[in-house]
Amino acid sequence: MKNVKFKNRIKAVSLFANVGIAETYFDDLGIDVVVANELLEERGRFYNHLYPETNMIIGDITISEVFDRVVAEAKANDVDLLIATPPCQGMSCAGRKDPKDPRNFLIYYAVEAVKQIRPRFVMFENIPMQQHTQILYNGDYLFIPQYVENELGDYYNFNEQHIVNAMDYGVPQSRQRYIYLLSAKTEDVKWEFPEKQQDIITMEEAIGSLPSLDPCLREETEKWRFPDFEEKKRKGLEVSKWHYPPVHSWKQVEWMIHTPTGKSAFKNETFFPKTKGRRIKGAPRTYMRMSWDKPATTIMQNSGVISAFSTVHPGRPIVESDDDTKREYSDARALSIYELLILSSLPLDWDIPEWASDVLIRKVIGEGIPPLLIKRAIESLIIGGKYDR
- C-alpha–C-alpha distance, residues 126 and 84, integer Å: 9
Question: 148-160: string of b/e by CB count within 10 Å (b at 16+)?
Answer: bbebbeeebbbbe
Question: 200-238: string of b/e by CB count within 10 Å (b at 16+)?
Answer: bbbbeebbeebbebbbbbeeeeeeeebeebeebbeebee
Q: How many CA atoms lie within 13 A of 388 on its CB side?
A: 14
SS3 229: helix
Dihedral sign for Cα 180, 183, 189, 194, please.
negative
The closest of 183, 71, 167 to 116, measured between CA atoms, is: 71
Write the CA distances from 317 to 32, 62, 261, 313, 346, integer angstroms. Answer: 48, 52, 8, 12, 29
Alpha-carbon radius of gyration of the chain: 22
- Known catalytic residues are 88
- C-alpha–C-alpha distance, residues 194 and 129, integer Å: 23
Q: How many CA atoms lie within 13 A of 229 on its CB side?
A: 16
The full DSSP string for 255-311 is HHHT--TT-BGGG-SSS--EETTEEPP--TTBSBB--TTSPBPPP-TTTT-TTSBT-
The full DSSP string for 317-361 is EEE--SSTTT-EES--SBPPHHHHHHHTT--TT----TT--HHHH
Position 282: which residue type?
A: G
- C-alpha–C-alpha distance, residues 43 and 367, integer Å: 12
